């Protein structure tokens, strides 16, 4: 019977499928342990998490046939090296689009309206009654949202923002200026504006990141970009931490070069850049974009179906290798 290594148990709908597909071992491993397990010949498939790093040296020595990542993102896996080693990589697309867009919206509202600060103020016993100028924030409706990227999650965020009365612009593949034809815009044709990366940076009231992490998007938001943003602008990141130079962000927030940041992901997750937690103009969430009961169950089901297909020797429903 095929052996499947699961590095962290996934919700029951996924574990049930895995247990029917092969012999399942659950073992949380560090990089060296993962490397030994991949090369051991014991396992045909690994069900992995974002923290499991599969780099070229590990993949070169591996005897795996597949890796099923419990996430839509797969920047923890060197897919080119996996492909060269004959290893299929699969992910869980589609099912976390709306939940992640909800968190982008949550961060926009919470930063603009000082939601967390207000909650802390009240819990600290400081609320002595309604005041004309207590905890004033900024509006969301009537302001401009700039979307870096225009994939599924960006579009779901655009849908929400339009319903809130925002103006929406996007740059599909920053920092490049790929042109999107009107017929690719579907329901958004005439409702959102296609702009260059530099215009998105300078003209957004909220700049929300929806790009995968790659060599071209690493530190896409760096000190220069932060300096070019409006002083009243708010940065939202539900994509991947390293898309932002977090040390530069702390400086920009401290100096007032931008107004606030709402973050769900961090450059060196789970560690945070020095000084970030002390800043009152931040809302910081622990990577919960997909964290609803139904979404995580559906991710588990997709992830397990991918793994079961691989152990059965067929192409998984959601492969990411070219
Ligand atoms: C993903 O799936 O890539 C998210 O970051 C976690 O659900």
- Interval between CA 46 and ligand 1 midpoint (Å): 17
Cβ-contact 170, 200 below 8 angstroms: yes
Does residue 112 or residue 180 have the better pLDDT? 112
The complex's ipTM?
A: 0.97
| 25, 174, 258, 272 from 297: Cα distances, Å | 20, 32, 38, 28
| pTM recorded for the entire structure | 0.96
Residue 89 Cα to ligand 1 midpoint, Å, equals 15
Question: Does residue 1 register a pLDDT over 80?
Answer: no
- Region of poorest pLDDT, from 108-122, 169-183, 301-315: 169-183
The finding on whether 107 has its CB within 6 A of some atom of ligand 1 is no
289 lines ligand 1 (CB under 6 A): yes
Q: What DSSP character marks residue 47?
A: E
Catalogue all structural domains in the chain, each as residue range(s) with its CATH number: 3-95+294-311 (3.40.50.720), 97-284 (3.40.50.720)
Q: Is 89 helix (H, G, I), strand (E, B) or coil?
A: strand
Task: Please indicate whether residue 269 is annotated as part of the active site.
Answer: yes
pLDDT per residue as tens digits for the range 187-239: 999 999 999 999 999 999 999 999 999 999 999 999 999 999 999 999 999 99
Cα 258 to Cα 23, 207, 234, 261, distances in angstroms? 52, 11, 6, 8
Q: What is the pLDDT of residues 149-189, one digit of tens each?
A: 999 999 999 999 999 999 999 999 999 877 888 788 999 99
| Residue % of the chain over a pLDDT of 90 | 96
Shortest-distance Cα residue to atom 2 of ligand 1: 71
Per-residue pLDDT reduced to its tens digit, 17-53:
999 999 999 999 999 999 999 999 999 999 999 999 9
Sign, CA dihedral 32-36-38-42, equals negative
Burial classification of residue 88, based on how many CB atoms lie within 10 Å of its CB (0-12 exposed, 13-18 middle, 19 or more buried): buried
């Amino acid at each position: 019977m095929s052996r499947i290594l699961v590095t962290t148990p996934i919700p029951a709908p996924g574990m049930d499928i895995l247990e029917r597909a092969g012999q399942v071992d659950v073992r949380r491993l560090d990089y060296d342990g993962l490397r030994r397990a991949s090369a051991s010949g014991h396992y045909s498939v690994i069900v992995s998490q974002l923290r499991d790093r599969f780099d070229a040296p590990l993949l070169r020595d591996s005897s795996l046939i597949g890796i099923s990542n419990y996430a839509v993102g797969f920047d923890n896996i060197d897919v080119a090296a996996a492909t060269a080693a004959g290893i299929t990589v699969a992910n869980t697309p589609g099912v976390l689009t709306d939940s992640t867009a909800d968190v982008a919206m949550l961060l926009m509202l919470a930063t603009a309206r000082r939601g967390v600060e207000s909650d802390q103020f009240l819990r600290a016993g400081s609320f002595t009654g309604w005041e004309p100028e207590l905890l004033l924030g900024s509006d969301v409706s009537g302001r401009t949202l700039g979307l870096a990227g225009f994939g599924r999650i960006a579009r779901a965020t655009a849908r929400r923002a339009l319903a809130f009365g925002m103006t929406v612009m996007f740059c599909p593949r920053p920092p490049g200026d790929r042109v999107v034809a009107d017929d690719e815009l579907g329901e958004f044709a005439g409702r959102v504006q296609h702009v260059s990366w530099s215009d998105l940076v300078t003209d957004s009231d909220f700049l929300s990141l929806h790009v995968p992490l790659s060599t071209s998007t690493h530190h896409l938001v760096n000190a220069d970009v932060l300096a070019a943003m409006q002083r009243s602008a708010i940065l939202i990141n539900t994509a991947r931490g390293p898309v932002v130079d977090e040390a530069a962000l702390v400086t920009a927030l401290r100096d007032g070069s931008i107004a606030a940041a709402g973050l769900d992901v961090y450059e060196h997750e789970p560690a945070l850049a020095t000084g970030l937690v002390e800043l009152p103009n931040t809302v910081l969430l622990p990577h919960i974009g997909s964290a609803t009961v139904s979404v995580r169950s559906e991710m588990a089901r997709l992830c397990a179906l991918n793994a079961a297909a691989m152990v059965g020797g067929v192409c998984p429903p959601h492969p990411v290798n070219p």
